Structure 1
Amino acid sequence: VFLEKEQALADARQQLREMERAAQEAQFAEKSQRSKIEELRRNIATATQQASQVGESIEVGQQELESLESGAASDGLQDLLDRRTSQERALADARHELDQITQQLRHAEDSRMQAERSLQPQRDKITEMQLKEQAARLNQEQFAEALAATQADEAALSEKLHPDMKPSYLQGEVTRLTNAIAALGAVNLAALDELAQASERKNFLDSQNADLVAAITTLEDAIHKIDKETRDLLQDTFDRVNQHFSELFPILFGGGNAKLVMTGDEILDSGVQVMAQPPGKKNATIHLLSGGEKALTATALVFSMFRLNPAPFCLLDEVDAPLDDANTERFCRMVKRMSDHTQFLFISHNKIAMEMAHQLIGVTMQEQGVSRIVAVDMESVGAEFPELAPA
């Protein structure tokens, strides 16, 4: 209803402006016609005055004609007749002009009366529009007072109103909201206290949430930093182990080449594939190698890791079991080379491997279920029996 009254007020103001414009035009036309009438009246007065002067001139001529002697009259008669003729002609022209001016005056008066008659409806409409505008202004003031009394947010209401909304729809919304308010029942006087408690609880939860968000952000930053450092360290370790692996593999196999290959783009999630190519064989994965080649490849990989970060002790359990004599000798030479930094404890049944040991510890079982340990210090034996020392 408020929107409808607003629209009616705007229409009334528009019509009032149009009526005032038409009234101003009619007044201007009336003033123009009045000016023309005054001018015509002045022309009529001038023509009447000229006609009077011409009549007076004729009378004066007639008197002069009568006063003249017959001889002089005959002489001046023609002149007077000419003057009379010209005066009569001027009088006729003046009368004709007077008739035309009178006719124009009549037309002007008719136009003025017609303008007066056409102006009256416009004045009536202006009065009617002024009354409508006053009524619409009163309605607007009443609605404004109602909105102020309810403390309504006019800006929010203006955003929700659209030009295509119909008054019936708005009236239906008002009815629906009124029913909804009535359905709420009586006012809860403790609502303000409850609101204060809920607001305090919300502020506390908001602060807790802010702390949690800050902690999550800190943890995420730490995770990203750890991931970055882990990637860098893992990539550096992988590259160094891969380099050592490619150096030790040819030593253990007497040739060939090998490398480590990542199976994915992300280093933290990808796996590692061992690519080994013993001498005389095509490049293949470790799954296609024989048992001895797999064992020797695994030994090369373990030794590559030991070279990266040497440990003080290393325990090897029958690593040389699947190796032939040539590979066992290469394996023994590698162990001797690395024994400068690491002490090796290995279990073996291979004589070639036993020859490189500094000390032998044997386990025997002469009686069932009873084990005995026999230890031999190879350095003391070599010193006591030089002929038994390894070459």
Structure 2
Amino acid sequence: MVITEERIEQALRTLAPVMRRTPMVASRALSDSCGHDVWLKCENLQRTGSFKPRGAYLRIAGLSDEQRARGVVAASAGNHAQGVAWSATTLGIASRVYMPIGASLPKIAATRAYGAEVVLEGEYIDESLTAAHVYAEETGAELIHPFDHEDIVTGQATVGVEICDQMPAVGTVLVPLGGGGLLAGVATAIKLRRPEVRVIGVQAAEAAAWPASLDAGAPVKLATMNTMADGIAVAMPGAVPFAQVSELVDEVVTVSEDAISRALLLLLERAKLIVEPAGATAVAALMEHTDLRLDGQVCAVLSGGNVDPLLLTHITTHGLQAAGRYLTVSVNVPDRPGGLSALLELLRDQGASVVDVIHSRVAGELRLGEVQVTVSLETRGPEHQVALRRALVDAGYLAGE
């Protein structure tokens, strides 16, 4: 192992004065659905809203006086940016962070508030990272990579130590997976203490570089990515975490965008926790993979909670749709008094709650004397939606299938 027990113990001593020991929260909803006791490791409640300061602080704290004098530089779309900015400022070191032009405004503002100079560069994080490399070469600033460094992985390993301490009977741990720093660290710490514990990495299916990389035996770069889980949208695993993950992790699974949004909604409604899409992937795996092998008590790591409020609104709506809680239908009704009210009365009788109504006389394929009505509804689940559609078919509003 590259990351040793001694290095992890030193990291614990270094981080103890500045990091929070994040809570472990039981989830009855997930426990009932999985048949195992499920607990949530709440790194969304860590300083800066994610696990990232653990590795960033350890890495920056280990710099020499000469390196500190030249400052540090990083590239990130959000969580690593904030972790580096907070860590550098806490240690009295200047920091510059390159962020994509499309990075969310709250994350940009938070990074600046933590004390970093923020430079918007490139459309994607790869371009921001290239700019950070150029700046480091030109100025001598120390590049703080988000996951591909032994100190970063060692810092993240302290999450695994806390899990073992807080859950002595833990049998399975699920960890969000992007570049691999968090999973590599957690797997190392857990396997050193409890080698029988299953460790599972979870990637978004639309940004899953790890399955192909593990099959190839070396990091493989993805050509494209398209996921709401921007915190783990990494095109290629890092070399340092790849060595740890390939040796120690028992399984890597992927989850759909629907599963991620449903997981985020469950955490918001049932656990009262705000979690970003990347941070909810471990929970998404428990919800989507009903055949997943789980041993003993289960821990799902919530890796972060930094989500743009506007994005949260969109994702919540997506989650409601995926869970059968939100339905939009378009029907043609007679364009005469009482035509709309008859439709609304039918929906009321079926127990649906109307969210929005759009009434149009210029929609396509309307016959003379008809109007198109598009209704958005809150529903009680997939079975309720089936009953609603059946009632609309029976009343002549929709064609039968």
TM-score (norm 1): 0.19
Higher RCO (CA 8 Å, separation ≥ 6 residues): 2
